[in-house]
Amino acid sequence: MITAIYPGSFDPVTNGHLDIIKRSAKTFDKVIVAIAQNPNKTPMFTIEERMDFLKRVINGLPNVEVDHFDGLLVDYVKEKDAHVIIKGLRAISDFEYEFQMALMNRKLDSDIETLFMMTSYKYSFLSSSMMKEVGKLGGCIAELVPDAILPDVLKRLKSV
């Protein structure tokens, strides 16, 4: 059985992330979507809110779980008895940073493989920060955020 870990901040999950989750779920026996603390980012949503959002959007995908972790990703991957990290690649600009992270993770644990999945063309411009900026300024984010969480995201964006 192959378990893949899909890590990220998911602040909040977007349709771009959901696309990667659905395609990973078809490719691997089990997928764990793992929310990580990125010390370089100040999140808009708490871990609990992000977990709740993810659980709502993966509803109906029986082999997908949602979790969160502190510390190193490679330690978490080992703890879950997994060997595969999934990352989405949106554009060439993602490549250098992702390449560095993948090589660092390999240096930390050579048994763990990072696999990259190309994001669907229609989400190749999307990031959580850009979606939040557009939403805060009153732009339409309906096609960027899963329907199940859209009202909650809009409510928060209007309150900040």
Residue list 7-46, contact with ligand COA (CB under 6 A): 7-9, 11, 14, 16-17, 20, 36, 38, 41
9 flagged as catalytic: no
Sole binder of ligand COA in the list 4, 53, 57, 105 (CB under 6 A): 105
CB nearer to ligand COA: give 107 or 155.
107
The DSSP H or E segment spanning 66 is strand 64-69
Q: Please count the other Cβ atoms lying within 10 Å of the Cβ belonging to residue 138.
A: 9
Sole binder of ligand COA in the list 31, 32, 64, 73 (CB under 6 A): 73
Torsion of CA 91, 70, 42, 98, to 10 degrees: -20
Sole binder of ligand COA in the list 48, 59, 99, 104 (CB under 6 A): 104
28 touches 115 (CB < 8 A): no
Q: Cβ 60 to ligand COA, closest distance in Å?
A: 19
Alpha-carbon distance of 81 to 78, in angstroms, equals 5
Of the residues 9, 50, 87, 90, only one is catalytic, namely 90
56 flagged as catalytic: no
The phi, psi pair for 3, rounded to 5°, reads -105, 130
Q: Counting contacts by CB under 6 A, is residue 135 touching ligand COA?
A: no
Instruction: Choose among 46, 48, 49, 59: nearest CA to 18.
Output: 59
Hey, which residues does 36 pair with through a beta bridge?
A: 69
Q: Where in the sequence numbering do the catalytic residues fall?
A: 17, 41, 90, 128
Binding footprint of ligand COA on the chain (CB under 6 A)? 7-9, 11, 14, 16-17, 20, 36, 38, 41, 72-73, 88, 90, 101, 104-105, 119, 123, 126-129
